[in-house]
Amino acid sequence: MTGKNETPFFDAIRDRLLRGETHVAVHFRENGLIDAEGAIYIAAPAETVWNILTDYDRLAQTIPKVAESRLIEERGDEKIIDQTGRSGFLFIEKSVRILLAVREQFPRRLFFEQIEGDFSVYRGEWRFMPDENGGGAFVGWSATLKPDFFAPPFLVSFVQHQDLPTVLQAVKNLAEKAAGESSHPKQ
């Protein structure tokens, strides 16, 4: 199903994404909560993107800002992932560790929530919506977070606007390359 009511998130930015733009937005809420979101259009099937993002043990080799990633427990469609991420501003670099519970709803959503780690709140999802012809997908990431460390709002906003497009573009490049290779097998 690719009906408009299914994912209103993509409706407002659909044309921009199809033009190759990357969407990033950050909103600050009460009590230090931060809502961050990003989206991109990828000229590859949603399943290809899914396979990249659920290859948990390889994320550190394929996705920028992921320093370490390891699947430590598997319970059907729920996975426990231990990750360390790195980000920075000018010459300051910060590493954060999170133990995530990831619930998979193939091939539409990956829900994640921190079990323990460097945030008092860290939960969100990856969303995948195939385009009309099924050859590409709109991919979105959104999260509500609250660091357990000092992070002024301007810095959080800067880091999200810097890092999220980098991560989304890397996923796009990997997925489009993989889709191209699978449609042109080597002989």
Q: Using 50, 70 and 90 to split pLDDT, how confident is the model at 3?
A: very low
Kindly state the average pLDDT of the residues 1-16.
Answer: 68
Alpha-carbon span 160 to 128, nearest angstrom: 20
Domain boundaries, the chain: 14-183
pLDDT digit string (tens) for 89-145? Answer: 656 778 999 999 999 999 999 999 999 999 999 999 999 999 988 789 999 999 999
Q: Tell me what pLDDT residue 159 has.
A: 85
Q: Tell me what pLDDT residue 90 has.
A: 59
Q: Name the CATH topology of 14-183.
A: Alpha-D-Glucose-1,6-Bisphosphate; Chain A, domain 4 (3.30.530)
What six digits make up the tokens of 46? 């949603």
Torsion of CA 51, 56, 60, 63, to 10 degrees: 30
Cα–Cα distances in Å, from 60 out to 38, 39, 69, 167? 20, 21, 6, 11
DSSP-assigned letter for residue 65: T
For residue 168, which of 15, 56, 39, 27 has the smallest C-alpha distance?
Answer: 39
42 vs 162, more confident: 42
